[in-house]
Amino acid sequence: MNRQVLLRRRPTGRPVADDFEIVDAPVPPLADGDVLRRTIYLSLDPYMRGRMNDGPSYATPVALGHVMVGRTVAHVVESRHRSINPGDFVAANDGWQSYGVSNGKDLQKLDPARAPISTALGVLGMPGLTAYVGLLDIGQPKPGETVVVSAAAGAVGSVVGQIARIKGCRAVGVAGGAAKCDHVVRELGFDACVDHKRGDLKDTLAAACPGGIDVYFDNVGGDVLKAVFRLMNQNARIPLCGTISDYNATEPPPGPNLRPLLVKRAMIKGFIVFDHNDRAPAFFTDCAAWLREGKLKYREDIVEGIDNAPAAFLKLFDGGNVGKLLVRVSPDPTRPIAS
């Protein structure tokens, strides 16, 4: 049977368990050319919150009663496709379910010898590419500049700060709690990390950025963005990647004063990773090399079992995850669980 997590109801504010429904459906039969795969990892990402809403939006909402969307890493169990074979590992877009079937056009083959297959959802996947294009193409960091990134211990932010260091910048993270900040500095090698839960962000951020801020890679919006504005240098760049602090808001949050953008001739630019697929080859070459050389580290937060996906999803909004949030839907044959 195919266990699926469906969108049962559109959430108001923070999603709750009753917004989802867990069902068992039959695995669909294969037509000629089709590929059946078992999900190993499901990626949980903040954009999924937007897909749960109705109304005008950037992307088609998940229809009520349908499987929640999401990118997956899977093991091919049966294939009627010419070049995809049982035993192959693939990245797919099967969503929150334990099996997927398609004609294979949407599948990307993975080589477990090249990198752990789970990295196709994180450091070598969409979040990694987001960090790469947002920082390098939009942020345009120069050696010696100060780069600040929020959600610094997360999937995107952790890569942003490490690439900033590789490019000769001072990397300053903003993260929730002392343990995360410690991880960001000690394990990921940032120069400093400021705890946004301490409440004195204006002062702590200023102390961590004595030369001001040249690039702010914004993952959260809200109060962190407000604190950054005061510290911007002339011609600062702000790649606007996400505003997770308001994804569960029920009314529009009060906006910051934008005047410092004018005074500092700063540039703020929104971007969406899907418009930058032309950069995927360069991203993959660079990040795979940095991983092999030990210059790029990553952490994964792996939750066991698809039934736990709805509760795990909320970690993104509570700051409960360190690193890329994944659900292990079935065992990973390339990486047996240590017990």
Q: Give me the residues that bind ligand NAP (CB under 6 A), please.
A: 45-47, 127, 130, 150-151, 153-157, 175-176, 180, 196, 219-220, 222, 224, 241-242, 244-245, 271-273, 316-317, 319, 321, 325
Q: Using alpha carbons, select from 249, 290, 309, 294 the residue that is nearest to residue 68.
A: 309
CA distance linking residue 97 with residue 109, whole number of Å: 19
Cβ-Cβ contacts under 8 Å for 207 (sequence gap 6 or more): none
58 binds, among ligand FER, ligand NAP, none (CB under 5 to 8 A by kind): ligand FER
Secondary structure string (H, E, C) spanning 18-59: HHEEEEEECCCCCCCCCEEEEEEEEECCCHHHHHCCCCCCCC
**CA 165 to the chain's CA centroid:** 20
156 binds, among ligand NAP, ligand FER, none (CB under 5 to 8 A by kind): ligand NAP
In whole angstroms, the minimum distance from the beta carbon of 87 to ligand FER comes to 30
Q: Determine if 273 is a binding residue for ligand FER (CB under 6 A).
A: yes
Total residues in contact with ligand FER, by rule CB under 6 A: 8
- Select from 35, 36, 41, 46 the one that contacts ligand FER (CB under 6 A): 46
In whole angstroms, the minimum distance from the beta carbon of 154 to ligand NAP comes to 2
Q: Which stretch binds ligand FER (CB under 6 A): 13-21, 200-208, 267-275, 299-307?
A: 267-275
Cβ-based nearer residue to ligand FER, 99 or 247: 247
Contact between residue 148 and residue 160 where contact means Cβ atoms under 8 Å apart: no
Q: Determine if 272 is a binding residue for ligand FER (CB under 6 A).
A: yes
158-195 burial code (b ≥16 CB/10 A, e <16): bbbbbbbbbbebbbbbbbbeeebbebbbeebebbbbbb
Cβ-based nearer residue to ligand FER, 155 or 227: 155
Binding mask 163-182 for ligand FER (x = CB under 6 A): --------------------
In whole angstroms, the minimum distance from the beta carbon of 157 to ligand FER comes to 12
Tokens of 52: 């749960």
- Select from 1, 59, 249, 258 the one that contacts ligand FER (CB under 6 A): 59
59 binds, among ligand FER, ligand NAP, none (CB under 5 to 8 A by kind): ligand FER
Binding mask 220-249 for ligand FER (x = CB under 6 A): ----------------------x-------
CA distance linking residue 48 with residue 232, whole number of Å: 31
In whole angstroms, the minimum distance from the beta carbon of 313 to ligand NAP comes to 11
Q: Determine if 205 is a binding residue for ligand FER (CB under 6 A).
A: no
The one-character DSSP state at 231 is T
The amino acid at residue 127 is: P
- Select from 58, 252, 293, 336 the one that contacts ligand FER (CB under 6 A): 58
Specify the residue for token string 């602090």: 245
The runs of H, that is alpha helices, within the chain are 47-51, 126-132, 155-166, 178-186, 201-208, 222-229, 259-263, 280-292, 309-313, 315-318
Per the rule left: phi > 0, alpha: psi between -120 and 50, beta: everything else, 114 is alpha
219 binds, among ligand FER, ligand NAP, none (CB under 5 to 8 A by kind): ligand NAP
Q: Using alpha carbons, select from 209, 46, 212, 217 the residue that is nearest to residue 138.
A: 217
State the residue number with the nearest CB to ligand FER.
Answer: 58
Cβ-based nearer residue to ligand NAP, 95 or 242: 242
317 binds, among ligand NAP, ligand FER, none (CB under 5 to 8 A by kind): ligand NAP
Q: Which residues bind ligand FER (CB under 6 A)?
A: 46-47, 58-59, 242, 272-274
